[in-house]
Structure 1
Amino acid sequence: MNKISTIMRPTILTASLGLLIISHVNGQSLKDLVSQIGYNVSIVLPGQPGYANATKPFNLRYDYKPVAVAFPVTSHEVSEVVQLGLKSNHTVVARSGGHSYIANGLGGKNDAIVIDLRNMKSITVDDQRNTAVVQTGNLLGDILTTLNEHDRALPHGTCPYVGIGGHAGYGGYGFTSRMWGLTIDRITSIEVVLANGEITTASETSNKDLFWAMRGAAGSFGIATAITFSTFPAPPETTIFSYSWHLPAAEAASVLTVFQNFTLTGDIPPQLAGELVITKADIRGNVNLGYAGGWYAPIAQLNATLAPFFAQVPAPISTSFDSGDYLHSAINLAGGSLQTISPEGTDTFYAKSLMTPSSQPMSLKSIQALMEVVSTVGFDTPGWWFFQVEQVGGKYSAINALKASETAFVHRDSLFVIQFYSSSPGNTPPYPQTGFNLLNASVDAIVSNNRPGWNYGAYANYLDDELPDWSYRYYGSNYQRLEGVKRIYDPNDFFSLPLGVGRRH
């Protein structure tokens, strides 16, 4: 018998319609237009209770003030709000979990209507077809927990508070991605609200070009309200491991070089993925390194798999292994809990990224230059920071198995995604110039010490609005096609984002 279960999450936030007049179009105030919405969509306006919380960004470097925040409960209500934006001459942006590094979910400016999807939280799991229909107000912690109840799983990141809309719209890397691919690679169809308010479906058989674009650049083309995923059996045995070193810069560079060669040429099963984590040491000129990752197979095979790497590096000063079922591993990676009920904290930070090509690995000179910056400039930089060299590629990587043209996500040749992340002292504003300096110097150390024209990329889920050539670094050879799809589905750039396809300069 085909067993289908649907989980409806409770409504988290509602707000009554406001009386504040914000703008006028053809003699009608935004408030008047709001009153014409036939579905009684909850909307909060500036000055009303709930507005401050509804517009609070994850990254406090930003302080955008949207003209309204709507909280629809159906795709039809999303459509109504899109049409409100059209009538009132305001751009509209969707907010799934609010984790955008540059506050894209608040519109990137002060004249947007935000569609906050937090009340659209149903998850329908079909145990016969092994699919899940997930509304885009869901956070990763809720999705993982629900799928686990059916012994199913998806590839995605570790933070339980990340919203599936943005995560699945631009990539979606996690420690199972070498084995299962990115989150976008598991999408079979998407319910989308277009710039004219039309509700449609994008798949391999319907709006195929839109389906292609939504898997890697989604925010520029429509509002995804529900995504159908093909799921995997949850691995019965998993181990989350970690190793650590405290090394002089030259030795740390040697470890990263070995790590690169191990990932590039080693006979690494797809069940392994991890990241080399670089952090501040307590001695100038030194570097803290950690290798943390997931092994999604019996633990007896782990040591043999890692042996070629550890045979070439100093003995770690600490090790940790935590074995259990798949849910246990996810709880570990989430920091001990997958719950999303308690309020999430905020940060004040800047982040950059590099996606290094397998065909052009980082040179030894660039790795040495990075560790020199980390051990000196990094040591002198106040606040906390970390760099993560995440294993994306290798012989058996499911990410690398697809061609660059198969989805809008172009970086299928990548060996690493490197995330550079630096917080302000106390994690609060203002953000210091020293943080920008550290990250820019670190990225420049790598880029400038590789061959001229080194074809590196950047990861769109680690958005960097300081990146000057973002269209190429995020989308590469796919950008021209994306512009063509944009002209079809959103020719007036209604879904305008700071780093969005078709952005008007």
Structure 2
Amino acid sequence: MPTLITALLVAAFSFRLVSADLSSGLNGAEVNAVFPGDSNYADASRAYNLRFTLEPAAVAYPTTPEEVSSIIQVGVDNNLKVVARSGGHSYAANGLGGQNGSLVIDMSNMKAITIDSSANTAVIETGNRLGDVALALNAAGRALPHGTCPYVGIGGHSAFGGYGFTSRLWGLALDPIFAINAVLANGTIVRATEDLYPDIFWALKGAAPSFAITTSVEVNTFAAPSYAIVMEYSWSSVDYEMAGQYLYSFQNFSLSGPPSALAGELVLSRGSEEGQVTFALTAAWYGDGDEDSANSAIQPFLDVMPTPTSSQILGDGSYIDSVSVLGGTTLDTSEAPDITDTFYAKSIMTPESEPMTLEACTSFMQYLATEGFTSNTAWFTQIELYGGPNSKIREIPNNATAFSRRDTLFTFQLYASSSNSLPPYPAEGFTFLDGMVSSVTSNMPETWNYGAYTNYLDNELENWQTLYFNDNYPRLKSIKDQVDPADTFWFPTSIEE
């Protein structure tokens, strides 16, 4: 049984393209591709985050793993860096290479979803978007943990973790994956599992784009919950000191062990006047019972809060409707085009073993209520509940997969768009978000082992190797040295060889 990475390094290609010219090489491989100067090049190379304007050498559209292998070889022959694009939602345009001149392998023509109802498994090609995956699985009464935006690609999302509202119940999107079909830098097509190429499998579950082009994932699915609803509560124009106490209370509630079927995130936005914030909670319930069961789960937090300014229960009780409600748009991504934005984002992952102090919570809210009130950006922050005693995410050790921050209690998404969602992006937006982070970290011990979430990619982040991958980075670097010694799969935050 092949388990040694070194065996892959001497594997020969089943074919070798003779042309070193990019255009003729891709045409010779009979792969559809778009090049600079083509009429559709602007659309093919447009980033989701319009803060980035990049010019790839070409965008190629494979339909099979063999074509992916061919494209990689053409890239190697032309001394190009090669990157995969699944849904194209990388916050820093890494799916376009993060720089000019990369060869982009766009997976959008690989959208097969094969469900085995007898084994409750599925094979999902990485050109699929989350909304389409949810619809296909739901038709068979099944589901997976994943994020809320329907247009995010399953490839990148699961490659770097994949948090969603069912993650406390089922884990991250990468956790149900038991096999990954991928193409390595030398063109070898592999099926990696815990037994077949285990080091590669480990690396692909948390840092995949640095090591291979993933063509499909094989997953264990979950029975769609029998009952699911979304609950929204809002407290408008909250004084920052009270808001700090509310955040601290939510942290205490989260540490008390709410049921794994309960998900939740705080959503913070600009207050109606300086010194205030709008404080909201979006919660969801995925379990047996009815609305009373959901209300009972969230009630201990509501008991320590004032009466909300507004509250509502959303959804018809079905799982797929809860996915639609949280997504805020159609789940069938063929019905409407994807949208773009011009933004900068950062993140904080707080360790469950060292919760935030009340001082840190209040400092954060004070910053939002003052600097946030005068900011020339359209901003929001989400504080997502990852952990707590009943969370499935934390049951897996930090070193079990390349994703390293499983002992997280909260993940903050800090997000600020230009005022009209179009370029140019204001320079003040960068310092504004940097200040959000420091308002928390400067009020915690210097040894505070906080992290950052790779799916909220920050191209300005210092010490990203530790913040994203922590103690797993040395092993990732070692595997990278072996499977991609020429650093073919490079982008600004790829694992260094």
- TM-score, length basis structure 1: 0.93
* 1:5 corresponding residue in structure 2: none
Is it true that 1:348 corresponds to 2:348 in the alignment?
Answer: no
* 2:380 corresponding residue in structure 1: 386
1:41 and 1:72 in contact (8 A); partners too = yes
State which drifts further: 487-496 or 76-85.
487-496
Is it true that 1:328 corresponds to 2:321 in the alignment?
Answer: yes
Cα deviation, residue 36, structure 1: 2.8
Which of 235, 243, 258 aligns to 1:252? It is: 243
* 2:268 corresponding residue in structure 1: 278
Distance 2:329 2:46 in 1: 25
2:111 and 2:127 in contact (8 A); partners too = yes
Alignment of 1:11-410 (within 5 A): 28-37=20-29, 40-246=30-236, 247-264=238-255, 266-297=256-287, 298=289, 299-323=291-315, 324-341=317-334, 342-410=336-404
Q: What code does the residue aligned with 1:113 have?
A: L
Cα deviation, residue 50, structure 1: 1.1
* 2:8 corresponding residue in structure 1: none
Cα deviation, residue 27, structure 1: 9.2
CA deviation map 1:407-463 (0-9, x unaligned): 000111100010000000100111002211221111001001101111000000001
Q: Structure 1: which 5+ residue stretches go unaligned?
A: 1-24
SS in structure 2 opposite 1:350?
strand
Distance 1:377 1:34 in 2: 51
Distance 1:423 1:175 in 2: 24
Q: What code does the residue aligned with 1:314 have?
A: P
SS in structure 1 opposite 2:349?
strand
Is it true that 1:424 corresponds to 2:418 in the alignment?
Answer: yes
Distance 1:95 1:304 in 2: 42
2:20 and 2:74 in contact (8 A); partners too = no
Change in CA separation of 1:249 and 1:30 when aligned onto 2, cut-off 3 Å? same
Cα deviation, residue 498, structure 1: 0.4
Q: What code does the residue aligned with 2:377 have?
A: G
Q: What code does the residue aligned with 2:378 have?
A: W
2:86 and 2:127 in contact (8 A); partners too = yes
* 1:16 corresponding residue in structure 2: none
State which drifts further: 299-308 or 107-116.
299-308
- Give the percent of matched residue pairs that are identical in Structure 1 and Structure 2: 46
Q: What code does the residue aligned with 1:181 have?
A: G
CA deviation map 1:305-343 (0-9, x unaligned): 222211212111100112411011111111142121221
Cα deviation, residue 34, structure 1: 2.7
Distance 2:97 2:299 in 1: 48
Change in CA separation of 1:43 and 1:375 when aligned onto 2, cut-off 3 Å? same
Distance 1:127 1:494 in 2: 38
Change in CA separation of 1:436 and 1:334 when aligned onto 2, cut-off 3 Å? same
- TM-score, length basis structure 2: 0.94
Number of aligned residues: 476
* 2:3 corresponding residue in structure 1: none
Q: What code does the residue aligned with 1:432 have?
A: P
Is it true that 1:500 corresponds to 2:490 in the alignment?
Answer: no
CA deviation map 1:265-309 (0-9, x unaligned): x23110001101110011111000110021012222122222221
1:370 and 1:446 in contact (8 A); partners too = yes
Cα deviation, residue 26, structure 1: 11
SS in structure 2 opposite 1:183?
coil
Q: Structure 2: which 5+ residue stretches go unaligned?
A: 1-16
1:33 and 1:88 in contact (8 A); partners too = no
Q: What code does the residue aligned with 1:77 have?
A: E
CA deviation map 1:95-152 (0-9, x unaligned): 0000000000001111111000000000000001100100000000110000000000
* 1:455 corresponding residue in structure 2: 449
Distance 1:221 1:337 in 2: 33
Q: What code does the residue aligned with 1:268 have?
A: P
RMSD: 1.3
Distance 2:107 2:57 in 1: 17
